Amino acid sequence: MNNDMLRRLFAEFFGTFWLTFGGCGAAVLAAAYPGLGIGFIGVAFAFGLTVLTMAYAVGHISGGHFNPAVTIGLWASGRCANKHVLPYIVIQVLGAIAGPAVLWFIASGKPGWVAGGFASNGYGDLSPGHYSQPACFVTEVVATFFFLMIIIGTTSKGAATGFAGIPIGFALTLIHLVTIPVTNTSVNPARSTGPALFAGGPYVGQLWLFWLAPILGAVLAGLFCRVLYPDNLLIDTVVVEEREVA
């Protein structure tokens, strides 16, 4: 493995770690804290800020995916080299497990702390608003589709150079504001996997939806963007343009 790939994988690991630690941490530690509770609006902004900050911190190294659905969606659009897809997904999942592991250690240091769902995603009885499985599936497909549309559009030729991290971060915030009551918001299979492994039981059993629906939405967006942005093949980035050879 060459140094460039190692740098990319470190960037994806830490980016996904920060996303799950910061976003899920806001939900687990701060959302319901007596006298401080930031509520679901605060959690939505926390997830958006994790992506925005890491997009500028390491996006120029790896492209700033931090999400298997983003990697697959960019690949489907012709904007991610084949050789990066599987390594990125593996390291993203590892980062998304490491973040909640540290979060679990911190949260369990409080007397009487109960993990509950540990910021996991779910449908039916595990949905925050008890939305049905079909409703949750469509929510995740549509939300991920537009998330990828925004990522690809804001990093395409002709878009304002160097500013893509801002609309992408706000897009994730908006997605959370809309979908937290439905699925607790995934649009990211790695983000779903880490917390579910610690919450256990039925949350792990429902993970299939939070892999399938986001990936389907991402692939549909990627294929659509091949038509919408035909001159942007093999630009793989969030913050700056970078040419890759597949």
Which amino acid would we find at residue 201? Answer: G
Q: Name the pTM for this structure.
A: 0.92
Which amino acid would we find at residue 38? Answer: I
With beta carbons less than 8 A apart as the criterion, state whether 191 and 71 touch. Answer: no
Q: Please state which architecture CATH assigns to domain 3-106+118-228.
A: Up-down Bundle (1.20)
Divide the 246 residues of the chain into consecutive groups of 10 and give the mean pLDDT of each group. 93 98 94 78 96 96 96 95 96 98 96 92 98 98 98 86 90 98 98 96 97 98 91 57 36
What residue spans define the domains of the chain?
3-106+118-228
Token representation of residue 185: 């918001």
R_g over Cα of the chain: 17
Q: How many residues does the chain have?
A: 246
With beta carbons less than 8 A apart as the criterion, state whether 152 and 80 touch. Answer: no
